[in-house]
Every structure is written in C-alpha cells, then in structure tokens.
Amino acid sequence: MSINALLDEFKGKAATPKQQLAEYKAQGKKVIGVLPYFAPEELVYAAGMVPMGIWGSNTKTISRAKEYCATFYCTIAQLALEMLLDGTMDGLDGIITPTICDTLRPMSQNYRVSMGDKMKVIFLAHPQNRFEDFGLQFCVDQYNHVKADLEEVCGHKIEDAAIQDAIRVYNKSRAARREFVKLASEHCDVITPTLRSAVLKAFFFMEKPAYTAKLEELNAELKKLPVCDWQGTKVVTSGIICDNPKLLEIFEENHIAIAADDVAHESRAFRVDAPEDEKDPVMALAKQFANQDYDVLLYDPKSSENRRADFVVNMVKESGAQGLVLFMQQFCDPEEMEYPYLKKALNDAGIPHIKLGIDQQMRDFGQASTAIQAFADVLELQK
C-alpha cells in the first residue's frame, strides 16, 4: 500500500472506534474497554478478547456523567463515563479501571456503580513502590485478580503460553511505534501532527497484530524517503493527551512539526517493553510496570533530583526541537503539580515553552491559535 493509503486507513480507524466495536461484536469477539493508564492489556489479548482504549472523546459533552462526577475531575475520565452511559460503548463485555491518579481512584467506583450488571468492571490498583520485591508481588497479585476477572468474561483459563505470546505481540507493537515516532520527525513533511496523532491513536482501537503489520509497512515506506529538509520549526509535545485534530491543525498552519513527545497517550505508553525471558509471564508484566519511569503519575523516590524534568529537557535537545508545548489537561493535578519543576528545568536550559490549557470539550481554539502562532515566531529566533 502507498503511504497515503496507509495513512488514510489509520486516520479512519482513529476516528471510528464505535464502528470497530460493532464489527468486533459482529465477528463474535468479546471486547474489553481499557481505561488509562498502564493496564496490562496483554492479559486481554491472551484471553482471546479485543482490548480497546478509552481516553475520552473530542466530540461529546459531559451530561449524564455529571450525576456521578465531581466538577474537578478531568474531562478524559468524565467523558469515558459519558460514553459508557450514553450507549456508545454498550457492546463492551467489560472494562479495566486502573487507579493511578486521584481522579481515577474514585472514578473506578463510579464506573462500577453506574455499570451495575451491564458489564464486568475490573478494578486495578498499581503499587506505589513498584521496584521492591513486595511491590512487584503486589503488582503480580493485582494482575492475577485482573486475569481471574478476565477469565470469567472469556469463559476459559488464560494460559501462561498465551500471555508469553501476548507479550511478544505487544513488544513488537511498541517497537514499531517507537520507530514510527522517530521516522515521523525525519519525515515531518509527510507525517503532519494530525497524521502522527491518528497513527498512534489507531493503536487503541485496532487489533494489535493487524495494527503492527500496517505500521511496519508504513515505517518501511517512510524509510525509503529521503529525510526531509524541514524549513519550519520543531517542538516536543508533553501532557496526558493531545489528539484533537483541530488543535493539531494549528501546528500545521504555523509550520510546527513534532520532533518527539512526552505524552501519556503517545510515547509514554510504549517506552518500556515487558521482558520476554521471565518464567512467570505475569511477573514479566509487573516488571514492565516497575521499569516505567519519568512519568508524572509514577512515584519517584529520587524526585528531589528533578529527574523527570531533566529527561524531558534532554528529549528536546536530542530530538532537535526548538521548544516544548505542554498540553495542560484541565483539572489534572499530577501534571499541574509537576509543571513548576518542568518549567524551571526548561528555563534553566534556555528552552522556550508554552503551556496550553486544554480539555476535551473545547470546540473553539482561537486563543490557542494565537498562542501557537506567537510561539512559532519565538521558535524562529531559536533556529
């Protein structure tokens, strides 16, 4: 397939999760919704079911979810519940509800209460101390609870061999996405910010082997192209999610390409592989979680060293970007509390940045457009 045909396919998949859910159901498959963040999707795949990521919506407004949610919950969590309540996700056979932040923790109970008998709601608590033996064991226990609940939904035991296979499938997908991110920067004339987002977003809805095969095909085609001589500017993006095409189009209008990202919905989701040589595959998944790092949602025993901010600063320097755009999700406490440290590190390194306040109910981007356009002018001075 040509690059354009592949990109069109990813774009289509990224925009039509409901249609794909219906297709999976029509094929007799069971589908599990996976809420952010760090859920061991491999277990769903190993169970022979289809995992679908639920990261809110850019087209819906919060209405029914208000019955359950405090006003200061982020729109990602509220709109996820909205879709579970308004029928959008009615085909799901279950959902996994991780509890890694102060919003997702109570939201896990809102999901449980509101869904009632409609679908299986699978609770997941990750350990704060994820490195120590007791943390790893806690994580294994939690994942085994998730595994048992999934077995109840799929109606059979999930074998170790199936989990080992799932780990290989997911590692392959993560490697392909990491390579794509690198190629997207080298070929940013072809892979615009909206297309880059669509390709990465499609992962959450497509069946993983099919997704990876398509992405490897796209990567192979991109490698054949000469590295583009980009005359615009480049940034690193950071935040929880920035998948709104209207917002990303503003980057394109101002000739700003994305060199790399520190976004939870994008690269933070595929930085770390699970070990393939671990005897107990559930322990392998726990170790994968333990090896996650530089994330605002994770406990850092060395937080006083500002390691995360240094990591992001290095990402900007190494990627050849001139600056950073932080998508600050409204009411996201972890990101807000992290920001002063990130700001200090960026300022100390002389890296310009802007913080754009966003939420998934935004429909007018006039102010963001002004800020991004002005930022493009500032970045030109850095070239």
Partner 1 sequence: MSDIFTLGIDVGSTASKCIIMRNGEEIVAKSLIDVGAGTSGPQRAIEAVLEDAGMKKEDMAYTLATGYGRTSLMDGIADKQMSELSCHAKGASFLFPNVHTVIDIGGQDVKVLHIDNGAMTNFQMNDKCAAGTGRFLDVMARVLEVKVEDLGRLGAMSKKKVGISSTCTVFAESEVISQLSMGTDKCDIIDGIHRSVAHRVTGLAHRIGVVPDVVMTGGVAQNTGVVKALQEELGCPIKTSPLTQYNGALGAALLAWQAASRRR
Q: Which residues bind partner 1 (CB under 8 A)?
A: 352, 354, 357, 366-367, 370-371, 373-375, 377-378, 381
* Minimal distance, residue 343 CB to partner 1, in Å: 9
Residue matched to tokens 């035991």: 157
Q: How far is the CB of 369 from partner 1 (least distance, A)?
A: 8
What phi, psi does 350 have (nearest 5°)?
70, 30
DSSP string, 176-195: HHHHHHHHHHHTTTTS-HHH
Q: What is the CA radius of gyration of the chain?
A: 20
Paired residues of 353 in beta bridges: 324
- Closest contact distance (angstroms) between CB of 102 and partner 1 is 22
Angle, helices 160-186 vs 208-224, to 10°: value is 30
Q: Which is nearer to partner 1, 21 or 74 (CB)?
A: 74
Q: How far is CA 253 from CA 211, 308, 372, in A?
A: 29, 31, 10
- Angle at 46 (CA atoms; ends 42, 51), nearest 5 degrees: 55
Shortest CB 248 distance to partner 1, Å: 17
Which of residues 26 and 381 has its CB atom nearest to partner 1 in the complex?
Answer: 381
Helix (H/G/I), strand (E/B), else coil: 76: helix
What's the residue count for the chain?
383
> Residue 40 is which amino acid?
P
User: Please, what is the minimum distance in Å from the beta carbon of residue 356 to partner 1?
Assistant: 9
Q: How far is the CB of 32 from partner 1 (least distance, A)?
A: 36
Residue 95 contacts residue 121 (beta carbons within 8 Å): yes
At its nearest, how many Å lie between partner 1 and the CB of residue 380? 9
- H/E segment holding residue 362: none
For partner 1, give the closer residue by CB, 144 or 370: 370
From the list 80, 74, 20, 72, the residue with the least C-alpha distance to 50 is 20
Angle between helices 281-290 and 133-154 (to 10 degrees): 120
| C-alpha closest to that of 131 among 330, 246, 290 | 290
DSSP H/E element including 372 = helix 366-382
Closest separation between CB of residue 325 and partner 1, Å?
13
Residue 50 near residue 31, CB atoms below 8 Å: yes
Closest approach, Cβ 145 to partner 1, in A, equals 41
